[in-house]
Amino acid sequence: MKVDNYKIDKNSPVFIIAELSANHNGSLETALETVRAAKRAGADCIKLQTYTADTITINSKKDDFLIKGTIWEGKNLYDLYQEAYTPWEWHAEIMKVAKEEGLICFSSPFDPTSVDFLETLNVPAYKIASFEITDIPLIEYVASKNKPIIISTGIAMIEDIELAIAACHRMGNYDIALLKCTSSYPAPIEEANMTMVKDLADRFNVISGLSDHTLGSSVPIVATCFGAKIIEKHFILDHSIGGPDASFSMDEKEFSDMVKAVREAEKAIGVVDYNLTDKQMKGRDFSRSLYVVKDIKEGEIITEEHIRSIRPGFGLHPKYYNEILGKSFKKNFNSGDKFSLEDIKI
């Protein structure tokens, strides 16, 4: 998968996305400064959400449209999205600033009109939000644009994922990534289930990653260790500005700390390699080896009193210990002397 100029595969660095979402608090200037802060914090990408209250729901006060059991308890869907949406007329300016900062920028569309709008901006990829994974017609329409598709799986059962992937394939689009996600806000860490990151990649033969709503950096670090190649976190300029997503978003310092931890985790993972670096080889100086620990004369029988396996590691390998006992040396040795097999009478 290649998003703009960033190649994402099993050998690439983790692609780190800062999700702007509603964290502009209704201010274009805040949105633009958030883009700049995301760059300073080490993000590779800033992601938007493209909808209006009217494209994502309807203005109904019926009970079905009241939010229950979340941090937005009691809010009406229409009112929440009216508060949270990013005005479409801001998109071009946000993407311009992102490009100036060296950040990739794309968005999550929520209906065909938003896809059409994003196509006019030539976005390099699309993100399907967790709650839209069941919207097969939307996924088909997005897939038909022949751009990389990143799909969150926060509410998905396995059949939902299969249907979404099949929808992409019907459109001839195989450029798919799946993100493990827990659609709670904030998400309990015990529900993160990061072992799914590897399973998604193996089961569906795709790039996998994490869209994270937990607090802190622990889950992104674990995801990296399980092979995540994309990590998305909500990003806010300052928690004090508030807003619908503020409670589970990272500010610049928190995001920067996460990026640093993820990059260190990547280095720590390494590769399967039983060869030692020069520094590791130097450490073998402190390994065990066979030394004479009691003076012994030529021809005298070697016993446990004469040789021992001790540090440092410059002497003979300890694997020869039992083989040497009962034999004799070809010359005199003093305590602290090392020796070789050539010094032993066979």
List the domain boundaries for the chain: 10-269, 278-345
CATH classification of 278-345, choosing from 3.90.1210.10, 3.30.950.10, 3.30.56.10, 1.10.150.120? Answer: 3.90.1210.10
> Which residues in the chain belong to E strands, given as ranges?
2-3, 6-7, 15-19, 45-50, 104-109, 126-128, 149-152, 176-181, 207-212, 230-234, 289-292, 307-310, 328-329, 344-345
Nearest to residue 309, comparing CAs of 326, 292, 325? 292
**CATH number belonging to domain 10-269:** 3.20.20.70
Angstrom distance (rounded) from CA 114 to CA 188: 32
Q: For the whole model, what pTM was predicted?
A: 0.88
Angstrom distance (rounded) from CA 61 to CA 337: 91
Q: What's the gap between Cα 324 and its chain centre?
A: 53
Q: Are 221 and 197 in contact (CB under 8 A)?
A: no
* pLDDT above 70 coverage of the chain, percent: 100
Write out residues in the chain with pLDDT < 50, as ranges: none
pLDDT at 311: 96
Preceding peptide of 186 cis, ω within 30°: yes
Give, in order, the Cα–Cα distances in Å from 132 to each of 24, 60, 156, 342.
23, 20, 10, 75
pLDDT at 330: 97
Q: Are 213 and 21 in contact (CB under 8 A)?
A: no
Angstrom distance (rounded) from CA 312 to CA 30: 62
